[in-house]
């Protein structure tokens, strides 16, 4: 055994950093009209992809994304020992029904929009811990299933507020391999639930920004890395409103120089696409990671990436019952070595 | 490094089996009138415990159970490095709001009623993998929150079918410690999603029984243990109907001699309590494990226990959309050594 794997209060550093050996990103029609169209593996023609309901389509999208990540790495499904995944639907049914079809043993996760980071953190721990050689980690969301579950059915045409975000129709999946070549998961920080009392479900970016800032601050302290260590720090889906708040918090904490910080919710769409504050949903950071960001790492345009996926942990029921919005953020460092 | 930790296709054996150093079980009034009243740490006086809603009460119950498990082990909350937990509510809000109050970094899980085993499996991997010294794993459910989310609000007084189960108001939590004394988690089997086409949500025991049988069969094959190895194999919450089906499947597969098998859903209540087929909910196996079963292990009445918590992974939405019920079962071996 080398250095201790636990670092500081909330972080871990991997002894044999697992390799991101293969990945895939699938997005919906709208996301395919955004700035990163060339970087996704599949842009859906419509929101049902041959299924009778949006929910079935979401599950199919996740299933196909995981299968694509596996096949792109020249793996067979039987080579993959474990599936870690989650989504936004009640009882994470997109995940469970996808796993039913794929047939890989499943550990289901719920971290709202932080799920891609959560699944990567656990996957990396289980591979580095010596339990598995090859594990897949994934997450997805679907605009229309989320709208009708969390807000108003799309057909109602309810007007949105400027701080609202657009749940992405998107999925991302990776295969983490103990061996092989590719970017590696080198360290990670598991977030605490942070709740500063925000109650507006139409402004989840502001509810999540403090969790992102707390996790990033802890990450640098725990790992004793300088705050300019990463080429890019990218939060999950704070959107414009939440990102602006996060930047204020960063300045206050003295943790991040401005040029190397961005947010998947801000990046995913063009300003012209009418998404108000930006993108959201588990699929937002999952598809940005498994599409454009990992492509940039392979091309050497990015060498040190810190993904800080953020999640708002409320439900419609807790909102109705007058609760504030708790949030969480998990950070995963991905590096070319 | 010793023997490989991965065993067979779906199982792992721990190199330094983590210790169940402390635990707590809290149950509702009805569960407190059952056969195990003396073995629980706290029997709630009512279903709200001073909260305005059942949902808030469920979250408080989980929070207090986790805190009790920590304090019973003479730990401080700050000693515990990670909280793994899940529940049945949409977006697992009982867990997220409990974690907000407790303040331990959270990895949220969803495995329906298999959650106690899922959290134990991951907790044991993360401790044995060298990432943490002390981790808490927990799960909970509440009868009235589950009824109104999954079926009919209690106030409607809808009649139940004989195959229906009674969602337990209950929570269980353990502290897993790398060091110390107590029963240990020695090995585990992560389940695949199994769906034999059952569609009746009023008979989830039958939907889950094949998953339980598949995981138990795989467990014995992977670990190369004789089928009479355990003093007790206990499934999560199949209830009478599901347990009878599981026993038929065991006989068919030649895997389990009858006397050492039972089910937490059958055990939790007396026949006189009007719970039809038996108990269910994440809290059913969580409270049976953290109450009567671990007590029997400490007393030496049980030395080798295999907990096989089972989960039905559907949602009301998938039921409405005509889907069948996928199920999963994870097995955790707990042994006095």
The pLDDT tens digits of the residues spanning A82-124 come to: 999 999 999 999 999 999 999 999 999 999 999 999 999 999 9
DSSP secondary-structure letter at B155? Answer: G
A89·B133 Cβ contact <8 A: no
Nearest CA in chain B to A315: B91
Tell me the per-residue pLDDT of B26-58, one tens digit each, with 9 for 90 and over.
999 999 999 999 999 999 999 999 999 999 999
Average pLDDT of span B183-203: 95
Q: In a mutagenesis test of the A interface, which of B84, B108, B128, B142 is the best target, namely the one with the most A β-carbons within 10 Å?
A: B108
A90·B52 Cβ contact <8 A: no
Residue A20 to chain B, least CA–CA distance (Å): 20
Closest by Cα among B93, B76, B108, B141 to B284: B141
Q: What is the largest CA-CA distance in chain B?
A: 59
Q: A178 touching B, CB under 8 A? A: no
Average pLDDT of span B245-258: 85
Average pLDDT of span A314-330: 96
> Is A249 in contact with A209 (CB distance < 8 Å)?
yes
A190·B107 Cβ contact <8 A: yes
SS3 A270: coil
Q: Cβ neighbours of residue A20 under 8 Å, at least 6 residues apart?
A: A174, A175, A176, A182, A183, A184, A185, A294, A334
The CA-based angle B311-A280-A274, given to 5 degrees, is: 140
Mean pLDDT of chain B: 95
Contact residues, A window 182-211, toward B, CB-based 8 Å cutoff: 190-195
A131·B5 Cβ contact <8 A: yes
B92·A103 Cβ contact <8 A: no
**A with B: how many residue pairs have Cβ under 8 Å apart?**
188
Tell me the per-residue pLDDT of A163-195, one tens digit each, with 9 for 90 and over.
889 999 999 999 999 999 999 999 999 999 999
- pLDDT above 90: percentage of residues in chain A: 90
Q: For residues B218 and B48, what is the distance between their CA atoms, to the nearest angstrom?
A: 41
Evaluate the CA torsion angle A285, A93, A33, A270 in order and state its sign.
negative
Residue B156 has pLDDT above 90, yes or no: no
With 0-12 / 13-18 / 19 or more C-beta atoms within 10 angstroms meaning exposed / middle / buried, residue A139 is buried
ipTM, 2 dp: 0.97
Residue A1 has pLDDT above 70, yes or no: no
**Weakest mean pLDDT among A226-240, B255-269, B323-337:** B255-269
> Confidence class of residue A162 from pLDDT cuts 50, 70 and 90?
confident
> Confidence class of residue B102 from pLDDT cuts 50, 70 and 90?
very high
What is the predicted pLDDT for the residue at B288? 98
Q: For residues A20 and A217, what is the distance between their CA atoms, to the nearest angstrom?
A: 25
SS3 B236: coil
What is the predicted pLDDT for the residue at A4? 84
Average pLDDT of span B132-149: 96
Nearest to A132 among B6, B96, B191 (CB): B6
- For the full predicted model, state whether its pTM sits above 0.90: yes
Mean pLDDT of chain A: 95
Average pLDDT of span B76-90: 98
Residue A109 to chain B, least CA–CA distance (Å): 4
What is the predicted pLDDT for the residue at A258? 65
Residue A216 to chain B, least CA–CA distance (Å): 14
* pLDDT: which is higher, A33 or B156: A33
B315·A130 Cβ contact <8 A: no
Torsions phi, psi of B160, nearest 5? -100, 155
Average pLDDT of span A266-285: 95
> Confidence class of residue B258 from pLDDT cuts 50, 70 and 90?
low
Average pLDDT of span A314-336: 96
Residue B156 to chain A, least CA–CA distance (Å): 19
What is the predicted pLDDT for the residue at B257? 62
Residue B159 has pLDDT above 90, yes or no: no
Nearest to A55 among B9, B15, B321 (CB): B321
DSSP secondary-structure letter at A311? Answer: E
Q: B264 touching A, CB under 8 A? A: no
What is the predicted pLDDT for the residue at A197? 93
Contact residues, B window 40-99, toward A, CB-based 8 Å cutoff: 52-53, 55-56, 81-82, 86, 88-93, 96-97, 99
């Amino acid at each position: 055994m080398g250095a201790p794997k636990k670092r500081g209060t909330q972080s871990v550093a991997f002894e044999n950093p697992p390799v991101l050996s293969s990945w895939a990103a699938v997005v919906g029609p709208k996301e395919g009209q955004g700035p990163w169209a060339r970087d996704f593996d599949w842009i859906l023609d419509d929101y049902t992809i041959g299924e009778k309901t949006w929910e079935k389509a979401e599950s199919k999208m996740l299933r196909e994304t995981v299968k694509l990540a596996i096949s792109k790495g020249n793996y067979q499904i039987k080579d993959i020992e474990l599936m870690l995944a989650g989504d936004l639907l009640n009882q994470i049914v997109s995940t469970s029904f996808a796993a039913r079809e794929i047939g890989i043993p499943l550990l289901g996760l719920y971290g709202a929009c932080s799920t891609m980071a959560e699944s990567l953190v656990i996957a990396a721990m289980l591979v580095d811990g010596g339990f598995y050689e090859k594990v897949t980690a994934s997450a997805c969301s679907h605009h229309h299933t989320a709208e009708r579950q969390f807000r108003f059915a799309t057909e109602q045409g309810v007007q949105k507020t400027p701080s609202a975000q657009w749940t992405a129709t998107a999925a991302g999946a990776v295969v983490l391999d103990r061996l092989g070549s590719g970017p590696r998961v080198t360290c990670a920080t598991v977030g605490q639930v942070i709740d500063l009392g925000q109650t507006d479900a139409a402004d989840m970016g502001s509810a999540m920004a403090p969790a992102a800032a707390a996790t990033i601050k802890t990450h640098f302290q725990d790992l004793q890395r300088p705050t300019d260590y990463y080429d890019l720090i990218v939060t999950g889906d704070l959107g414009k409103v939440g990102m602006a708040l996060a930047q204020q918090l960063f300045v206050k904490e003295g943790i991040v120089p401005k040029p190397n910080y961005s947010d998947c919710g801000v990046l995913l769409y063009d300003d012209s696409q009418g998404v108000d504050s930006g993108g959201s949903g588990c699929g937002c950071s999952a598809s940005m990671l498994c599409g454009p960001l990992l492509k940039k790492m392979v091309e050497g345009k990015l060498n040190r990436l810190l993904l800080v996926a953020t999640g708002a942990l409320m439900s419609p029921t807790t909102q109705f019952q007058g609760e504030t919005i708790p949030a969480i953020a998990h950070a995963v460092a991905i590096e070319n070595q």
